[in-house]
Amino acid sequence: MTSNSMIFNQFLFCCGLRARSLTNRLTTIRGMFSVVCSVLASLILLMPFSANAVSASWHLELPSEVNLGDTIPVMVAYDRSDWDTSVNDCMIYHEDMDGNNKIKLWKDGEGGGVCTTSYGKFPVDSSSNGFDRPVSFTISPYTTNLSPGSKFKLVGYLNPNMTAKAWITKEILVRSLTGGFAAATPDKYTQGKVAISGVWKGTGANGNVKIWSSKDRWVGEGAGETIDLTGLTPGEHVLDAYMYHGDAYETKAAQASTTVRVLGGTFASAVVENGILRMTGEVAGGADQIRIYRGLNASTVVKVMAATGGFNLVVDDLPLGTHTLYAYAYRGTQFLSLGSKEVKITEPPVVNLTAPPPNSWHNGTQIKVGGQVTATANLKNVGIVQRRANLATEQYGNSLPLCDTESGCGLAQEYTVDDVIYKTTFWKQDIEVALRATDVNNDQVYSTNDRSATGTGLLIKYDGVAPAVTWPSGAEAMASRAAPGKPYHIKVDVRDEQSGVNPLNVIWRWRIGTSNWSEGAAMIAGASDRYTAQLNVPSTASEGDEILFQVRATDNIGNATAYSNTNQHVVSVTKPVLTLVAANGWHNGGKIKLSGTAKSGVNIKDVGIGWRKSAATGTIAWYGLCRTEQSCGATTDYSFGPIDSPFNVSVDDVELFFWARDTNETIVYFTDNGTGSGRGVTVKHDGDAPIIVWPVGAEATANRAAPGKPFEVKVDVSDAQSGVDPANVKLRWKIGANAWSGDLAMSHVAENRYSLQVNIPADVNKNDPLIFQVQAADTVGNIVAYANNNQHVAAISKPEITFSVLGKGGWHNGSKIKVSGKITSGAAIKSVAIGQRKTSEPNGIYRYWNYVCKGNCGLTSEYNLDQVEYVYGLYTEDVEIAIWAEDVLGGVAFSTLDGNDATAGFSLKYDGKAPVIHDVIAKWDPDGSLIVSGSFSDDASGLGAGGDGKAAIVLGWSGMADQLTLDVVGDGLGSSATFSHTFAKGDLPAKPGVILTVAASDRAGNVSLPTAIEVGAQIPKLALRVEQIATSPPRQAWFAGESVAYRLTLAVATDSVCAMNSDVIYALPAQLQLDPGAIPLLTVSDGTVIANLDSIWTGESGFDSLLSAGGKLCAGQSLHIDVPLIIAANASGETAVSVINATADNLIVALLQKDSITVMPDQGSLQFTKTVDKDSAEPGNDLTYTIIFKNRSDQYLTMREIEDVVAPHTLLQGLPECGAMPPGLMCNYVPTVPRGLQWSFSGELAPGESGQVSYKVRIQ
């Protein structure tokens, strides 16, 4: 037997991420991909087998125990004696103890085996009937799922003709990992550090040794003989070591467990205060003692104390100087250094407060502080503090730091506080203030009586009340009146019961009336609390002016009383004020009527008047009215008049003068400058009477008057000089040659207009004239008398009525009639009415008056009635009609035979029967129009156009408000007539019903009952289709930023009528936008289609109609619109639902189609899309899957791999393919594990470029 041997190396195959790039990681998309990633280590041996029964002896040499990771040498020997046919395989497998989880370790033939030859035939060589084969393989936990302490089996198989047969089985034990360490020692100077020493590793252990604390927390690891653990918390720890083979299969080592105690703590602070050293900190981990050493000599112990009470030590016997202190935590002999602190022992500072002075005051805002600090060490903090005076044990607070560092305090042992403004918030009560100083040794001292933080400081009392300002009263009060040009003395009392008034800050100001305030001026301090000042009253001040005085004051600590409108002194100015009235400034010679007043704050004692010619500048002739206080009435308000002047004047213009003096000796003249040298009041001469004018035009007095009615007379009276006296405008009137009436006063109504209403007698003769005359006087007595050459004449007026047209050819039907006529009068028509009476009652009165207008008929003297309807209470028999009219003057007239309400009017015959309709036909014309025809008859008022009546046919759709009326006119029609009408397609209602109604009316207005004709509506047959362009089958999954286009098709059936005004309505959902680089495209089936795109379509609400109005699609015609769109950038993760409607005239229901697009979540730079070529399939059908990838970034991406898996219940058909690739990218399909798919790539994917791969499966 020939023996051949070969050592087969282990082959390891790994698959990684499906697709990898330099800048992007593939995002898996909803079941499009699944991850298939396995690590397979295989050792393969192929062996030949006989096609018949195998007769052989076998031998497999293996150890019974191995270490994890050992390489096991194996000798395989067998004898083949009668193998005369091909043998497929001979191999060795690893199996679990229950025979599962088979992993092939060796197969003959991989690397030149001897079991088989090519095509499964072995060489016919009788001398070579067996072999001895050495084999080796590694016990690996990664390929065999082995773990320390477990067993497994090695099994050899023969597989002739693919029929497996085990030929040998061997059980093998994998030994457990071993190892340990010698000791674990806590560090004395590094808190939380423990040194592990004497680390060793035994069977199968080749990885790091990992240390765990109390079985639940990893604390460190290492590969050498020592491992330093750090960061252990204070306290007791049970440390265990775990052994590893590589980085898997840990085993706790039996000789690697110990307990250690870790001490912990901190030396937080060492502070010297007032010569006392206080040290604080903390200890942990079971320390039972704290020791403090001075210097590095352990024999110099400063303090030793038990740790159970915490770390808070006080030492008061250290000598002056600088010391370094070391703290240690102890537990038995074990200790840990907690660190060191440096302290300096010095004498405390000395602090003295020198300002503010004793018994000082404050107002809760600020004080000035001064003082001196000295020390034996440099100062590092100086400040001002305060507390409430009524709390003697309260510590000082509200600090104002003056310096808070050693350098800020001048690196000195002295510090001077020089009148520092202390503004820290004060309590509004008495306070104590102190200086506080701290040196670099933290010795802190206060300027209190005992130098402590609770001692007595400097008392400062609280004053929060401003000074009180009081105006004196009684005998001390200020004068209530001031005279122009005279001094006025001001007095005020200012008090402050606490810190006192600051005499330099009592300020006064003044003003007259609402003028600006003066600048403030200091008042003069007098006896007690009195302050005074003096004001020289301006000579320009007038009688009645008020002078206002205000005062503000401040106490010695800044509390201020402000100027106040509620605390001011007001004094009136005393000066005579004169008025003089001289007959409205006009005179007509002789005496002048005068009136005047003189008023002052004190009594008037002298009054006089004078005159001179206005053009003169000479002496004034004066005349006294009163010369003493008593003769002037001992009053402050003197008046006179109206009186005649004590002098006569000429016919020239004159000047009048008036002067007065009060008891203050203040003299005032009623002149232009208030002095005796000024100009007086000019009184002009008027010798002309008023002018009377009768208005014309629209404002004129009426030329006609109605008997028994009021009549308004209007006249304009003017006087350009002294003016008209309204009480002396008089009117008189008469009728014809009758006597004049008495004088009647007219009323002044506006500007120059005067009016009076005269009642005209009812029995006045219509032909007699009315005559009116007016006289007037002006204010100085000039008169214009009644005159025959300046009068107004008016005539008596009454309306007249004529008929022009009445009714429908002299007939009525008892419901309504139409009346035409004309009313004229000499005055405006006021009211018009129509009445009736029965023809059978010739002596009856007219009733049922229907007003055409009432109270206002247009303000015109002519009124026309044009086919006015009379409907109220019309008798159902022959009647007589009359018109009644009244004008604004009260004139009344009737349109009857003799003009009264009891004679014959216009006669109308009664017809109450409606026409009859015959033979109505309605039919559709091929062009879409509707033809309606028929006939009708009437045997009473008839169908002819007798008089102004006419008959009519009314056509209308059922349920529609609009109707069509066809007039039938002409005398030759007799009692019957035919009619015909064509409704053009454009004249028909938008959505006709199924009933057409036809009605007829005669000349009397009777209307027949409507005849109903059924008319089938012409409804177009439309179809709407919506599809995605260039996506077959349609896609449902898209990504933001991609382009999508819809084709909207509208088609008319071959047996349909034309669809008029057809339209497609598409309101874009929020996730879709119109492609800015494209526009919708319209395509029609032939040139006769009428359709145009609406240029204002945007897809927004109100702009969603794609077609313009007036479109037309007829039988067999169609159109389609391509709408280019872009998915919005912010639409990721949303669904865009497009709803498209189609409409046309006469459609019963609008057409509607929908399409949905799911916008996938953003995938980052590299986008993947997976599609399938069918929407549905059955077992046996083939499906083709396409994976499209695209670079959405602006950088080049390096492609690595794409992986997918064949879905369950499908089988791969043929080899997967690489599709179209962009320049610079190469693709290759790589076979992989069963049901796994992998494509590898080389090169880069340019920005915006895309490619695709695909594969085909068959459904089982």
Q: Where on the phi/psi map is residue 1180: left (φ > 0), alpha (ψ -120 to 50), or beta?
A: left
Going by pLDDT thresholds of 50, 70 and 90, the confidence category of residue 52 is very low
Q: Which of 583, 601, 604 is nearest to 592 (CA)?
A: 583
> Residue 1257 has what pLDDT?
94
pLDDT at 1209 over 80: yes
Which has more pLDDT, 818 or 96?
A: 818
d(C-alpha 176, C-alpha 141), whole Å: 13
The model's confidence at residue 998, banded by pLDDT at 50, 70 and 90, is confident
pLDDT band at 18 (very low <50, low <70, confident <90, very high): very low
> pLDDT for 675-689, tens place per residue?
888 888 888 888 888
* Residue that the structure tokens 């006296």 belong to: 725
Q: What is the mean pLDDT of residues 229-237?
A: 88
pLDDT reading at 973 higher than 80: no
pLDDT, tens digit, for every residue of 801-816? 887 767 556 788 888 8
pTM metric for this prediction: 0.32
Mean pLDDT of 265-279: 80
- What pLDDT shows up at residue 552? 96
pLDDT-based confidence at residue 73 (cuts at 50, 70, 90) = low
pLDDT at 720 over 50: yes
In degrees, rounded to 5, the angle at the alpha carbon of residue 59 between the alpha carbons of residues 54 and 64 is 135
| pLDDT tens-digit map of 1136-1150 | 899 999 998 777 677
Average pLDDT rounded to a whole number, residues 275-279: 79
Cβ neighbours of 629 (radius 10 Å): 17
pLDDT band of residue 1081 (cuts 50, 70, 90) is very high
Residue 35: what pLDDT? 24
Q: How far apart are CA 1229 and CA 77, in angstroms?
A: 41
Helix (H) or strand (E) holding 422: strand 414-422
Structure tokens of 837? Answer: 């009476």
Query: When comparing pLDDT for 84 and 390, which is higher?
Result: 390
User: What DSSP assignment string belongs to 615-641?
Assistant: T--S--EEEEEE-STTTTTS-SEEEEE
Q: What share of the chain is helix, strand, coil (3-state, %, to 5)?
A: 5, 50, 45
Q: Is 124 helix (H, G, I), strand (E, B) or coil?
A: coil
Q: Are strands 995-1001 and 951-957 parallel, antiparallel or unpaired?
A: antiparallel
Query: b or e along 999-1027 (b: 16 or more beta carbons within 10 Å of the residue's beta carbon)?
Result: bbbbbbbbebebbebebeebbbebebebe
Per the CB < 8 A criterion, the answer to whether 911 and 1002 are in contact is yes
Query: Residue 36 — pLDDT band, cuts 50, 70, 90?
Result: very low
- Whether 997 shows a pLDDT value over 80: the answer reads no
Per-residue pLDDT at 177 exceeds 90: no
- pLDDT value of residue 167: 58
First to last CA, the chain: 50
CA–CA distance, 96 with 107 (Å, rounded to integer): 19
Least confident of 590-594, 608-612, 682-686: 590-594
For residue 251, give both structure tokens: 């085993």
In the predicted structure, residue 247 carries a pLDDT above the cut 50: yes
Minimum mean pLDDT range among 637-646, 988-997, 1120-1129: 988-997
Give 667-727 as a 3 state SS string.
Answer: EEECCCCCCCCCCCEEEEECCCCCEEECCCHHHCCCCEECCCCEEEEEEEEECCCCCECHH
Give me the domains of the chain, ranges plus CATH numbers: 43-174 (2.60.40.3880), 179-262 (2.60.40.10), 264-345 (2.60.40.10), 350-462 (2.60.40.10), 470-573 (2.60.40.10), 576-626+656-681 (no CATH), 691-796 (2.60.40.4140), 800-910 (2.60.40.10), 916-1006 (2.60.40), 1022-1160 (2.60.40.740), 1166-1259 (2.60.40.290)
**In which element (H, E) is residue 1252 found?**
strand 1250-1259
What's the pLDDT at 1042? 82
Q: Per-residue pLDDT averaged across 124-140, rounded?
A: 49
Q: Given its phi and psi angles, is residue 265 left (phi above 0), alpha (psi -120 to 50 degrees) or beta?
A: left
235: amino acid identity, one letter: G
pLDDT at 119 over 60: no
pLDDT of residue 897: 79
What is the model's pLDDT at position 964?
66
How much is the pLDDT for 415? 92
Token readout for 938 is 């009437």
Tell me what percent of the residues of the chain surpass a pLDDT of 90.
22
Please compute the mean of the pLDDT values over residues 108-123 and round it to a whole number: 37
Q: Give the gyration radius of the chain's Cα atoms.
A: 64
Give residue-wise pLDDT tens across range 891-902. 788 888 777 777
Query: What is the CB-side half-sphere exposure of residue 239 using CA atoms within 13 A?
Result: 31
pLDDT > 80? residue 17: no
In the block, residue with structure tokens 């060489």: 123
